Amino acid sequence: MNRKKGLRVAVVGVGQMGRHHARVYSQLRGVDLVGVVDINPKWLQESSTLYQCQGFDAIGSLVGQVDAVSIATPPGTHAAIGQFLMNHGIHCLIEKPLAVSEKECQLLIDTAAANHITLLVGHIERFNPAVQELAALVSQGLRIFAIDARRMSHSSARITDVDVIADLMIHDLDIVMALVNRPVARVVASSVHIPESQGVDHVAALLNFDNGAMSSLTASRITQGRIREMHCNTDLGWISVHFISQELSLVRQGSFRAGEPHDPPNLKYNVDLSVEKIAVKRAEPLVLEIQHFVDAVLNRTSPLVTGSQALEVFKVSQKIRQSAIARDMSPCGQTVMDGN
């Protein structure tokens, strides 16, 4: 098999998400997809054949063969796999969540730092072009007062080892925390759990930040229909983000205006709503994420989503979970988790 020249990469775990990683790597210029790793022989054979690379059944086979990897295995395996590979000098893109405990997240962060490794955490919605345009507005001085995010769909057989907070809500939580960029001061949450599932299945959370901003987040995997949207109250107007269509719109209410000179005296009226569509160059978020990872490795630049950022998101997700469970078990109803 003739190999391309370039950054040598592999994908560990070629389930549904891992196969997409392999697809993107196989199409990027300056990248050589050396191989894929999986303990499932069928998946390994299918992916190695489809993307014309080697198939490995153990991560040890990658040592000395690759420069960087994507880890798309179940979250409970991230710490062990990531630590092993980074200790052997291999840069890692680890799918969200970074790990399943604060201790494991910190272990991965420390291992990356000790070995001078690039660690990018795969919070893919940060690479959604609509989100990136909104982030650019914030970087130019846009002030956000409140954010409402909803991410809802029907149950998926693809995700069986985590609840809806780690599966869906964590996407919006990561975006909200990055946009507001202030510590979370308070968390209140409530949830619904259906008996046949793992953990909570529908969660509503309210976050207050130390600068006075707030956010409400709803995530569900027991909803008929698919909703992926976010709305922001800002000093510029009401901004809507539609993740699937990658659209960004701005709604503004005009102020009172006086009439024309020939109109009756003291006539004033409300200017109608103005809707502006903010230009967004559409692209596949995963392609942008992986290209960013490759560039960060080659140029030794800091990744957009660092391990430390992912750890803070994980900590707040834990507070949401704790608040939701405590509230649902409490006869009084409400439990508040402070930001400390």
In a domain, 90, yes or no: yes
58 pLDDT more than 60 = yes
41 pLDDT more than 80 = yes
**Shared domain check, 108 and 132:** no
Q: Each residue of 278-326: pLDDT tens digit?
A: 999 999 999 999 999 999 999 999 999 999 999 999 999 999 999 998 7
What local confidence, expressed as pLDDT, does residue 192 receive? 86
240 pLDDT more than 60 = yes
**Shared domain check, 130 and 113:** no
- 257: pLDDT confidence band, cut at 50, 70 and 90? low
**Shared domain check, 185 and 82:** no
CATH number of the CATH domain containing 69: 3.40.50.720
Burial (Cβ within 10 Å: 0-12, 13-18, ≥19) of residue 39: exposed
**Which residue range is the domain that position 70 belongs to?**
7-117
Contact 89, 68 (CB under 8 A): no
Concatenate the DSSP letters of all residues of 165-233 into one string.
IIIIIHHHHHHHHHHH-S-EEEEEEEEE--TTSSS-SEEEEEEEETTS-EEEEEEESS-SS-EEEEEEE
Produce one character per residue of 299-315: b if its CB has 16 or more CB atoms within 10 Å, e if not: eeeebbbbbbbbbbbbe
Work out how many domains the chain is built from and give that number: 2
108 pLDDT more than 50 = yes
Say what the pTM is.
0.88
Residue 73 CA to residue 63 CA, distance in Å, equals: 18
**Shared domain check, 174 and 85:** no
What local confidence, expressed as pLDDT, does residue 148 receive? 98
What local confidence, expressed as pLDDT, does residue 332 receive? 38
Q: What is the mean pLDDT of the chain?
A: 90
CATH number of the CATH domain containing 194: 3.30.360.10
What local confidence, expressed as pLDDT, does residue 31 receive? 97
Query: In 3D, which of 100, 99, 48, 94 has the Cα closest to residue 71?
Result: 94
What local confidence, expressed as pLDDT, does residue 106 receive? 98
| First CA to last CA distance, the chain | 55
Q: Each residue of 324-336: pLDDT tens digit?
A: 987 555 443 444 4
**148 token code pair:** 């409402």
How would you classify the pairing of strands 247-252 and 91-95? unpaired
Q: Each residue of 185-220: pLDDT tens digit?
A: 999 999 987 776 667 889 999 999 999 999 999 999
| Dihedral, 3, 4, 9, 12 alpha carbons, nearest 10 | -50
Express as a percent the part of the chain with pLDDT over 70.
86
In a domain, 288, yes or no: no
**Shared domain check, 135 and 94:** no
**Shared domain check, 275 and 142:** yes
Query: In 3D, which of 151, 206, 217 has the Cα closest to residue 184?
Result: 206
Q: Each residue of 79-88: pLDDT tens digit?
A: 999 999 999 9
